[in-house]
Amino acid sequence: RTHWSVQLHQPHNPQPQRWSSVQRFLILPQQASPPLLPKVYRLFLSPNQPQQLTNALGIEPPTMPILSLSAKPLSRLPAKQGRVRNLASSSRIRITMLNQQDRQGNETGRPLYLGIDFGTSGARYALIDKQGAIHAEGKRTYPAAVGQTTNWASSWREALFQLLGDIPPVHRSSISSISIDGTSSTTLIIDRNNGELLAGPFLYNESFPDALPMVSSIAPANHTVCSGSSTLCKLVSWWNKNCSNGSNDSAILMHQSDWLLWLLHGEYGVCDYNNTLKVGYDPEIGSYPSWLMSQPYSHMLPSSVRAPGVPIGPIKEDVRSQYGFSNDCVVCTGTTDSIAAFLAARTTDAGKAVTSLGSTLAIKLVSRVRVEDARFGVYSHRLDDQWLVGGASNSGGVVLRQLFSDDQLVTLSKDIDPSSPSPLDYYPLPKSGERFPVSDPDMEPRLEPRPDSDAEYLHGILESMARIEVIN
């Protein structure tokens, strides 16, 4: 087995041939390095490739099919903010070859891919093959709080390793790669010298208005970080309280998925450009802006920001041996939970939107134009050469759990007539504070008046959530 990671920065061939069977994977100019081209092209050609293509490339068709392949065009720089950019002027191709051979160990002998989702109330995993078929899945709720507080980091760690142990042993040696998504803007401060938790976790919906004036003074107007719940506000708030008398050189910032992945690979400073958006990383230029790098806490930022889903490194030996993973199993960069939900919906057409109703209400819409305005909680994530525009409301399933049990929700729903509008007008929030469609840390929940009928009450809450979705 060979692990290939080839990245080429070349202009488009002015008149590329239209071979549809190859074009979706790569377009490489003929003037590129002759020794490299045959090796790269051979990775993508199947034995039944048209003879005209292999003749034109000057290579012979491969004699064996590619059995495991993860490859797609690396996002050319997305459209500029406020206008659509002609994407035919440049090309960056990322090729990631995780394996060239099938592994034994499951009923099909095919490599499998493990994805783990860490939401607000629990974690779940899915084990899929290259075609997306699910071979195993499971979930764990976070351990109950002790006293009045929850040790979130300990709960996440415990859930992670419980899920790894839940994977059927017959599949474990066939797992080719592992990735994890986490809630956006959930932040931890870690000591890089020993891996100990210095502060946090600061959860996705926690607001730090004390840091907002300082952040607003350095960032562009209405930037994504100019929200009290942004990762940068959490970092600045911690810095002001703990490092006012001097720098803490060993302290680093990690997002939830960064930290969980770090438990598996052990390399500090690695993150993806989806999670780093709310700390100020600019996915359009592919770096942190100068106004952020000039700050005294800039050394705490993730030093290696990569695309989501690309290899970081092998799984740690102690984890590998404990759970029976293959020597070739790699850990890949993650993303946010709402982006993972969007990707699971399998839509990439501009104008298409996906709503994820979990503990919160998140909306993502594919756009050719980048849109950001912190006043309304709107921001744009990079999705290859397009943008995912959206935001997340604090309204959602967590409100329902505060008011009803699962059995009540099932029973009461049967008594609701969805064709009859509810006269009740609520703004269902679990506590003070809203992020989207308006960023207001002081917004209060509106859940009154409560009618005598619980079914009518639930009806009004559900319709009120739907109105928030419509506004968004």
Q: Lowest-pLDDT range, 162-171, 248-257, 377-386? A: 377-386
Of 351, 168, 337, 167, the closest CA to residue 256 belongs to 337
pLDDT of residue 64: 35
- pLDDT band of residue 146 (cuts 50, 70, 90) is low
Of 309, 307, 386, the closest CA to residue 347 belongs to 386
User: Is the residue at 32 inside a domain?
Assistant: no
What's the order of all strands across the beta sheet hosting 4-10? Answer: 4-10, 91-97, 70-74
3-state SS assignment for residue 35 = coil
Residue 244's alpha-carbon distances to 236, 247, 409, in angstroms, are 11, 8, 49
pLDDT of residue 107: 54
- pLDDT band of residue 144 (cuts 50, 70, 90) is low
pLDDT of residue 295: 96
Pairing relation of β-strands 353-357 and 330-332? unpaired
397 and 421: one domain?
yes
Of 39, 135, 322, the closest CA to residue 125 belongs to 135
**Domain stop point among 285, 310, 337:** 337
The enclosing H or E element of 136 equals: strand 134-141
User: Is the residue at 281 inside a domain?
Assistant: yes
377 and 460: one domain?
yes
Residue 264, amino acid: L
Of 256, 267, 280, the closest CA to residue 340 belongs to 256
In contact, 90 and 77? CB cutoff 8 Å: yes
- pLDDT band of residue 285 (cuts 50, 70, 90) is very high
Of 391 and 1, the one with more pLDDT: 391
In contact, 42 and 30? CB cutoff 8 Å: no
- pLDDT band of residue 148 (cuts 50, 70, 90) is low
Residue 172, amino acid: R
Of 260 and 21, the one with more pLDDT: 260
**Domain count within the chain:** 2
In contact, 423 and 363? CB cutoff 8 Å: no
380's tokens: 């744009």
Helix count and strand count (H, E) for the chain: 14, 19
Q: To the nearest whole percent, how much of the chain has pLDDT over 90? A: 54
Of 374, 388, 390, the closest CA to residue 441 belongs to 374
455 and 436: one domain?
yes
Look at residue 53 and tell me whether its pLDDT is greater than 60: no
Of 261 and 98, the one with more pLDDT: 261
Of 410 and 75, the one with more pLDDT: 410
Look at residue 52 and tell me whether its pLDDT is greater than 70: no
Look at residue 331 and tell me whether its pLDDT is greater than 50: yes
User: What's the predicted TM-score (pTM) here?
Assistant: 0.70
Of 60 and 189, the one with more pLDDT: 189
pLDDT of residue 374: 79
Average pLDDT, the chain: 80
Q: Lowest-pLDDT range, 106-120, 219-233, 265-279? A: 106-120
pLDDT digits (tens, 9 = 90+) for 293-315: 999 999 999 999 999 999 999 99
Of 324 and 100, the one with more pLDDT: 324
User: Is the residue at 43 inside a domain?
Assistant: no
221 and 263: one domain?
yes
Look at residue 101 and tell me whether its pLDDT is greater than 60: no
299 and 167: one domain?
yes
User: Is the residue at 101 inside a domain?
Assistant: no
**Domain stop point among 337, 368, 395:** 337
3-state SS assignment for residue 85 = coil
99's tokens: 């394996």
pLDDT of residue 457: 96
User: Is the residue at 46 inside a domain?
Assistant: no
In contact, 42 and 62? CB cutoff 8 Å: yes
CA angle 218, 197, 178 (to 5 degrees): 90
pLDDT of residue 109: 65
329 and 354: one domain?
no
- pLDDT band of residue 61 (cuts 50, 70, 90) is very low
Q: Per-residue b/e over 66-75, b at no fewer than 16 CB within 10 Å?
A: bebbbbebbb
3-state SS assignment for residue 225 = coil
pLDDT of residue 63: 38
The enclosing H or E element of 428 equals: none
pLDDT digits (tens, 9 = 90+) for 345-365: 888 888 888 888 888 888 889
3-state SS assignment for residue 184 = coil
In contact, 360 and 393? CB cutoff 8 Å: yes
Q: Lowest-pLDDT range, 51-60, 71-80, 220-229? A: 71-80
What average pLDDT does this structure show over 220-247? 89
What average pLDDT does this structure show over 64-78? 35
User: Is the residue at 42 inside a domain?
Assistant: no
User: Is the residue at 136 inside a domain?
Assistant: yes
353 and 306: one domain?
no
What average pLDDT does this structure show over 256-282? 96
pLDDT of residue 349: 87
Q: How many CB atoms lie within 10 A of CB 467?
A: 14
Residue 109, amino acid: G
447 and 357: one domain?
yes
In contact, 384 and 75? CB cutoff 8 Å: yes
Of 227, 185, 224, 180, the closest CA to residue 202 belongs to 185
Q: Lowest-pLDDT range, 21-35, 131-145, 186-200, 387-401? A: 21-35
CA angle 143, 231, 154 (to 5 degrees): 20
User: Is the residue at 299 inside a domain?
Assistant: yes
CATH number of 202's domain? 3.30.420.40
- pLDDT band of residue 392 (cuts 50, 70, 90) is confident
Look at residue 105 and tell me whether its pLDDT is greater than 70: no
**Domain stop point among 289, 314, 337:** 337
Look at residue 49 and tell me whether its pLDDT is greater than 90: no
Look at residue 84 and tell me whether its pLDDT is greater than 60: no
DSSP state letter for 434 = B
174 and 237: one domain?
yes
332 and 385: one domain?
no
pLDDT of residue 108: 53
369 and 319: one domain?
no
Of the ranges 77-86, 300-309, 391-400, 428-437, which is most confident?
A: 300-309
238 and 383: one domain?
no
Provide CB contacts within 8 A for 469, sequence distance 6+: 355, 361, 363
In contact, 427 and 383? CB cutoff 8 Å: no
Q: Lowest-pLDDT range, 40-49, 189-198, 275-284, 459-468? A: 40-49
In contact, 266 and 316? CB cutoff 8 Å: yes
Of 288, 316, 282, 313, the closest CA to residue 300 belongs to 288
- pLDDT band of residue 340 (cuts 50, 70, 90) is very high
Look at residue 55 and tell me whether its pLDDT is greater than 50: no
Look at residue 218 and tell me whether its pLDDT is greater than 70: yes
What average pLDDT does this structure show over 78-93? 34
Residue 262 is part of which domain span?
A: 112-141+150-337
